[in-house]
Amino acid sequence: GWVSTSEVTMDGCSRDYKVGFLYEPGSAQSNTSATINANDGNNTPVFSTGISGVGIAIKTQTNAGPYDNVMPIDNTYHNGDGNKTHHAMAPAYNVELVALGGPITSGTATFQSPLARVSFRDSATEDSGGDILTHLYLGNTQLIMKAMGCRVETPAITVDLGSVNLGSFANSQTAGTGEQDILLTCEQVTAIASSLSAQPASVNNPEISVRQVSTPSARSSSTGVAVRGRV
């Protein structure tokens, strides 16, 4: 959301002054290019946070003229209007974290404070004369991102069904069982869905879902038998 302060006055501006909408010099965002533009109605440039898949977008409204509208913090300077004095009425900043569209990984991002500024300068550089109209302070802010997901610790399994005698099917549709645990390491409250993927077998009963048995290296193969799995 928007955070604002009380009225700020900038006086003594030169006729050809510039207005900079900048990430704080020395910050990680001040030395890099934007990754994408946010879909926020202002096309605010999104800069890296240091966490893969997550960016940061900041915009400001100075209410001081000549840029009273919402302006992105994008490390650019704009021409002033030549007026000597400007009154910023409740200038404000808006900070958003933006998903970049790719995989989001776990990680930590630390933002320096102040993080952004609106600067009135004699020329388009912070080394020239002038002053800072507003600063954005986030305090000692650290972003800890935990990507929801799991890591499979058991990438391959072998399920031993044992030897099954043909007579076991005399009074039952099924025979032989085997179990195998699959170890997952997950972030808390991660939702898990599982499925089995194999060539479906042709059966006479449409209510039964089974998978075809295929052993190309075997000297002979059973017929009329398939495998049914539960997860």
pLDDT 10s digits, 64-92: 778 888 999 999 999 999 899 988 888 99
pTM: 0.66
Dihedral angle, C-alpha 70, 76, 82, 88, nearest 10 °: 40
The answer to whether position 82 is within a domain reads yes
What's the DSSP call for residue 20? E
Residue with tokens 């002979």: 220
How many residues can be counted in the chain? Answer: 231
Judge whether 96 lies within some domain: yes
Question: Any residues with CB less than 8 A from the CB of 116 and at least 6 apart, and which?
Answer: 21, 22, 23, 24, 58, 60, 73, 93, 135, 136
* pLDDT at 76 (0 to 100): 96
Tokens representing 25 are 């010099």
Average pLDDT, the chain: 83
Locate 97 and state its tokens.
């974290």
How far lies 26's CA from each of 20, 123, 159, in Å? 15, 19, 57
Report how far apart, in Å, the C-alpha atoms of 88 and of each of 8, 16, 118, 174 are: 5, 19, 11, 79
Structure tokens at 78: 């704009």
* Domain presence at residue 63: yes
Q: Tokens in use for 53?
A: 């898949």
In this structure, of 37-46, 88-97, 190-199, 209-218, the range with the lowest mean pLDDT score is: 209-218
- Classify residue 166: in a domain, yes or no: no
Burial of 44 (0-12, 13-18, 19+ CB in 10 A): buried
- Going by the DSSP 8-state scheme, the letter that residue 202 receives in this structure is P
Nearest to 94 by CA among 64, 138, 145: 138
Residue range(s) defining the domain that contains residue 115: 2-145
Q: List pLDDT tens digits, range 204-221.
A: 655 555 555 555 555 555
Number of domains the chain contains:
1
Residue 128 clears pLDDT 90, i.e. is over it: yes
Q: Is residue 155 a part of any domain in this protein? A: no
Domain-located, residue 104: yes
Q: Give me the residue label for tokens 């946070």.
A: 49
